[in-house]
């Protein structure tokens, strides 16, 4: 390279000086991002050239391959980034690497000056990426030559201390070579492995070959930016394994391309396994955020709501970087818009899966239901779509098969306005209990909720598609169909009345708020109902939380006037009131057991033994 004129020394614009001063004198948490910035500038320059090749006739060094070379020289202590992009003319060089045009960049510099924490790592997002090289350099030299024929090359050099020199140079190839003369404490950037790792991490998807010591480092393509029908199935799988660090194939894949309401490409995956379900601790978010294929942040928490933390993949939006910094990104309006749009699409995708491929959705549900429930319970903005995804067993589903609320509504009887549900640990427990009896008689379907969070969601929801949601153990339940009179003779009204008053008195206000005749029971002697909409599962949760397992709030006790135990109790009351009281207590406790509220039954054993003794002697 022959210099054709004398180097000319120029001053940086005041803001650039201030910026360089901060960059040079700050401590860095991850200064390796300077390489990302230089590569990203090179990729931009190559992208522009690719475009010009279509529109311009005359391009200098037309046949040079479009690529980025990284050269390391340990003895000279330099790292060079060389591209064959559009290059810069002398005027462009003066303007681009000496002045600052964007007002956003100026504002950012002012922010850096004002704040105590000099978060220099962000400068790439503010159109100042080139200056990041001074985090690692004590001198930077730029060789560049424009694609325009008849333009000379130029050499730009600076140690970042306020001035730079510029001189013309002939016989440079098209493009830009940036030589970073590394500071003494930054010599690790001449190490091949280190540099390779950095390139893979931040620039792995840059759409031009990045060549380090003869080897292409970025081998996986940025599939998210491609057209769906241009991507092969196995490319998706390979991509997933690469970004999720997984050996298995993904369960689902979701490729999204949007122009409105905002420009975003996303490629998201549901893994095959949910380790959180198996107690391996909380899953870390696994979605990386890119801007035009350059990594902005890995595993970015704010890009999706927490309940979607099981997703793996990439979100790329060109709207993200310039005016957004990582520290205020968490609550930026743009970010919440992105989050809303993407999660809405993910939910539509899952709903579609559920409709078109119920079997694979079932597989998803068995593993990831907890996240959908978490979302339905906590994220008001997406609740409608989330609730559609919920699945349950029901009194009309085959054991093991699941139904949705929509399935339920489709099967509702004429005139039925309420969706009924009941909580219990298993199908067997629920079906052997007293609560289903009346529903069974009338052919009404009841959804079985297995977890307290299900009841919590239904309680919050109140209704679905205009149908009320009611727990079958609520005390104010009126079933719609005709009441059939069950077989057997009922206790006379006045005796029944006296029995309920007596029972209420013996059990006491702590246990029962009311004892009354049941219109619902068929086979069981008694059941407890929950006044005030506190369902059995909520009650159970409170007991567990208060660590007072048998502290049950007062219940409504309904007794079955046709049941032989009730007849017997009534007769016993008149012969041996004390023993009748004991039986009454046991009757109540049995109803608590059936409701799943007797969490510590051992204290009953003495009473039961007493009752056994009486029957055996
Ligand atoms: P940004 O790239 O965000 O605009 P930089 O400070 O990194 O900010 O770069 C300033 C300008 O310098 C770029 O916009 C581009 O015009 C020019 N530039 C930087 N690197 C190169 C390169 N390798 N090839 C061509 N032009 C470049």
CA 314 / ligand 1 centre spacing (Å): 25
For the stretch 87-114, pLDDT in tens is 999 999 999 998 887 777 787 788 878 8
Over residues 508-519, the mean pLDDT reads: 93
The rounded Cα 456 to chain-centroid distance in angstroms is 21
- State if residue 98 touches ligand 1 by the CB under 6 angstroms criterion: no
Say how far apart CA 141 and CA 155 lie, in whole Å.
7
Q: Which of the pair, 7 or 279, is modelled with greater confidence? A: 7
What pLDDT does 531 receive? 79
- State if residue 130 touches ligand 1 by the CB under 6 angstroms criterion: yes
Residue 592 pLDDT greater than 60, yes or no = yes
What pLDDT does 332 receive? 76
Maximum average pLDDT range among 126-130, 499-503, 592-596: 499-503
What pLDDT does 124 receive? 63
For the stretch 137-149, pLDDT in tens is 999 999 999 999 9
Q: Give, rounded to a whole angstrom, the gap between the first and last alpha carbons of the chain.
A: 115
What pLDDT does 325 receive? 47
Residue 451 pLDDT greater than 80, yes or no = yes
Establish whether domains 223-382 and 493-616 are of one fold: no
Question: Quick one: which atom of ligand 1 is closest to the CA of 86?
Answer: 25
Is residue 282 classed as helix, strand or coil in its secondary structure?
coil
Q: Which sequence spans correspond to the domains of the chain?
A: 2-216, 223-382, 392-471, 493-616
DSSP 32: T
Work out the mean pLDDT of the chain and round it to a whole number.
Answer: 89
CA 134 / ligand 1 centre spacing (Å): 15
Over residues 484-495, the mean pLDDT reads: 84
What pLDDT does 125 receive? 62
By alpha-carbon position, which residue is closest to atom 18 of ligand 1?
Answer: 41
CA 31 / ligand 1 centre spacing (Å): 19
- Least confidently predicted of 178-187, 410-419, 479-488, 505-514: 479-488
Q: Which of the pair, 567 or 57, is modelled with greater confidence? A: 567
Domain 392-471 in this protein, CATH class: alpha beta
Give the burial string for 572-598 (b: 16+ CB within 10 Å, else e). bbeeeeeebbbbbbbbbbbbbebbbbb
- State if residue 45 touches ligand 1 by the CB under 6 angstroms criterion: yes
Over residues 23-49, the mean pLDDT reads: 87
Which residue matches tokens 């390979």?
238
By alpha-carbon position, which residue is closest to atom 10 of ligand 1?
Answer: 96
DSSP state letters, 46-113: HHHHHHHHHH-S--TTTTS---EEEEEETTTTEEEEEE-S----HHHHHHHTT----HHHHHHHHHHH
Over residues 392-407, the mean pLDDT reads: 95
Over residues 416-442, the mean pLDDT reads: 91
Query: In this prediction, what percent of the chain has a pLDDT beyond 90?
Result: 62
Residue 70 pLDDT greater than 90, yes or no = yes
Over residues 418-426, the mean pLDDT reads: 92
What pLDDT does 323 receive? 41
Question: Quick one: which atom of ligand 1 is closest to the CA of 83?
Answer: 23
Is residue 390 classed as helix, strand or coil in its secondary structure?
coil
- Least confidently predicted of 122-136, 296-310, 453-467, 551-565: 122-136
What pLDDT does 371 receive? 97
Residue 390 pLDDT greater than 70, yes or no = yes
Residue 519 pLDDT greater than 60, yes or no = yes
CATH 3.80.10.10 fits 2-216, yes or no: no
Q: How confident is the model at residue 329 (pLDDT cuts 50, 70, 90)?
A: low
Q: Which of the pair, 542 or 462, is modelled with greater confidence? A: 462
Residue 596 pLDDT greater than 90, yes or no = no
Maximum average pLDDT range among 17-31, 248-262, 277-291, 587-601: 248-262
- Residues with Cβ within 8 Å of 108's Cβ and at least 6 positions away in sequence, in order, are 122, 123, 126, 128, 325
CA 45 / ligand 1 centre spacing (Å): 8
- State if residue 444 touches ligand 1 by the CB under 6 angstroms criterion: no
Closest CA to 518 of 528, 508, 509: 528
Say how far apart CA 347 and CA 341 lie, in whole Å.
10
Q: Which of the pair, 524 or 531, is modelled with greater confidence? A: 524
For the stretch 340-364, pLDDT in tens is 999 999 999 999 999 999 999 999 9
CA 96 / ligand 1 centre spacing (Å): 6
What pLDDT does 498 receive? 95
* Homologous superfamily assigned to 493-616: Heat shock protein 90, C-terminal domain (1.20.120.790)
CATH 3.40.50.12240 fits 223-382, yes or no: no
DSSP 35: H
Over residues 465-474, the mean pLDDT reads: 92
DSSP H stretches of helix in 379-449: 383-389, 405-411, 427-432, 437-442
8 A C-beta contact, residue 52 and residue 61: no
114 token code pair: 């004002």
The rounded Cα 429 to chain-centroid distance in angstroms is 34
Residue 327 pLDDT greater than 60, yes or no = no
What pLDDT does 546 receive? 76
Over residues 334-342, the mean pLDDT reads: 90
């Amino acid at each position: 390279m022959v210099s054709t004129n004398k180097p000319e020394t120029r001053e940086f614009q005041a803001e650039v000086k201030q910026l360089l001063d901060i960059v040079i004198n700050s401590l860095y948490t991850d200064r390796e991002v300077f390489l990302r910035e230089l590569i990203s500038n090179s990729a931009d320059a190559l992208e522009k050239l690719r475009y010009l090749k279509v529109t311009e006739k005359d391009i200098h060094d037309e046949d040079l391959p479009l690529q980025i070379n990284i050269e390391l020289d340990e003895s000279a202590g330099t790292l060079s980034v060389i591209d064959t992009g559009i290059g810069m003319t002398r005027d462009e060089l003066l303007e681009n690497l000496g002045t600052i045009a964007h007002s956003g960049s100026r504002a950012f510099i002012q922010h850096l000056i004002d704040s105590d924490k000099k978060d220099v790592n962000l400068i790439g997002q503010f159109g100042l990426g080139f200056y990041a090289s001074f985090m690692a350099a004590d001198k930077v030299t730029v060789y560049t030559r424009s694609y325009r024929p008849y333009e000379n090359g130029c050499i730009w050099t600076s140690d970042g201390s306020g001035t730079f020199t510029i001189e013309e140079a002939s016989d440079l190839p098209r493009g830009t070579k940036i030589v970073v003369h590394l500071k003494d404490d930054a010599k690790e950037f001449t190490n091949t492995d280190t540099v390779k790792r950095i390139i893979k991490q931040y620039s792995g998807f840059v759409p031009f070959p990045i060549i380090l010591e003869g080897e292409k480092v970025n081998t996986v393509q940025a599939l998210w930016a491609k057209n769906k029908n241009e991507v092969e199935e196995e490319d998706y799988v390979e991509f997933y394994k690469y970004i999720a660090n997984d050996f298995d194939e993904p369960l689902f894949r979701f490729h999204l391309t949007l122009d409105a309401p905002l420009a975003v490409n996303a490629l998201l995956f549901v893994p095959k396994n949910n380790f959180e379900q198996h107690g391996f601790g909380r899953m870390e978010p696994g979605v990386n955020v890119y801007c035009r294929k350059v990594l902005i942040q890995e595993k970015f928490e704010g890009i999706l709501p927490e309940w979607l933390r099981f997703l793996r993949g990439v979100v790329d939006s060109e709207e993200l970087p310039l005016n957004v910094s990582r520290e205020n990104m968490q609550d930026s309006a743009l970010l919440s818009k992105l989050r809303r749009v993407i999660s809405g699409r993910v939910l539509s995708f899952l709903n579609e899966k559920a409709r078109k491929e119920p079997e694979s959705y079932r597989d998803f549900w068995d593993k990831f239901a907890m996240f959908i429930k978490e979302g339905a319970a906590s994220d008001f903005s997406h609740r409608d779509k989330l609730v559609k995804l919920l699945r349950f067993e029901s009194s009309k589903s085959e054991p093991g098969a699941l139904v949705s609320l929509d399935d339920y509504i489709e099967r509702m009887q004429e005139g039925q306005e309420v969706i009924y549900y009941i909580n219990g640990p298993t199908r067997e427990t629920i079906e052997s209990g007293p609560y289903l009896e009346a529903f069974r008689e009338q052919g009404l379907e009841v959804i079985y909720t297995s977890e307290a969070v299900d009841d919590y969601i239904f309680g919050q929801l109140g209704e679905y598609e205009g149908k009320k949601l009611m727990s079958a153990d609520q005390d104010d339940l009126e079933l719609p169909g005709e009441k059939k009179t069950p077989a057997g003779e009922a206790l006379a009204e006045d005796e029944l009345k006296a029995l309920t008053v007596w029972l209420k008195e013996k059990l006491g206000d702590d246990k029962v708020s009311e004892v009354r005749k049941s219109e619902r029971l068929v086979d069981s002697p008694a059941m407890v109902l929950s006044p005030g909409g506190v369902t059995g599962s909520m009650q159970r949760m409170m007991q567990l939380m208060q660590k007072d397992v048998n502290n049950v709030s007062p219940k409504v006790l309904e007794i079955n006037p046709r049941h032989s135990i009730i007849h017997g109790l009534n007769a016993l009351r008149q012969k041996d009131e004390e023993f009748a009281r004991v039986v009454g207590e046991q009757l109540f406790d049995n109803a608590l057991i059936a409701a799943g509220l007797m969490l510590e039954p051992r204290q009953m054993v003495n009473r039961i033994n007493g009752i056994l003794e009486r029957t055996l002697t």
